[in-house]
Structure 1
Amino acid sequence: MKFRRQRTDEDSVNLTPLIDVVFLLLIFFMVSTTFTKETHLTVTLPESSGEAQPQVQEPLIVVIGADGSYGINGKGLVNSKASTLRLALEEIAGDNREQALIITADAKTPHQSVVTAMDVAGQLGFVNLSITTQAPGES
Structure 2
Amino acid sequence: MIEFKKKRDDGSILDIAPLVDMVFLLLIFFLLTNSYQKHQISVALPATKSGQEVTETKKNYTIEIKADGTILINGRISSMDDIEKIPKTAEVDIAGDKNVSYQTFMDVLDRLKEAGISNVNLLTLKE
TM-score (norm 1): 0.47
CA-to-aligned-CA distance 1:85-139 (integer Å, 9 cap, x gap): 1x21233x2xx31210111011111111111110000011001011111111xxx
One-letter code aligned to 2:91: A
- SS at structure 2 position matched to 1:67: coil
1:60: Cα distance to partner?
A: 1.0
1:101 aligns with 2:95: no
More strand by share: 2
> In the alignment, what sits opposite 1:80?
none
Structure 1 gaps of 5+ residues are 1-55, 78-83
> In the alignment, what sits opposite 2:71?
70
The verdict on how the C-alpha distance between 1:130 and 1:58 changes in structure 2, with shifts beyond 3 A counting, is: closer
1:57: Cα distance to partner?
A: 4.3
One-letter code aligned to 1:105: G
> In the alignment, what sits opposite 1:21?
none
Larger gyration radius, structure 1 or structure 2: 1
| Aligned mate of 1:121, from 91, 97, 112 | 112
Q: How many residues matched?
A: 71
One-letter code aligned to 2:124: T
Contact 2:84 2:111 in 1 (8 A): no
Once the two structures are aligned, what percentage of the paired residues are identical? Answer: 21
Q: Distance in 2 between matches of 1:57 and 1:67?
A: 29
Contact 1:65 1:109 in 2 (8 A): yes
Structure 2 gaps of 5+ residues are 1-56
TM-score (norm 2): 0.51
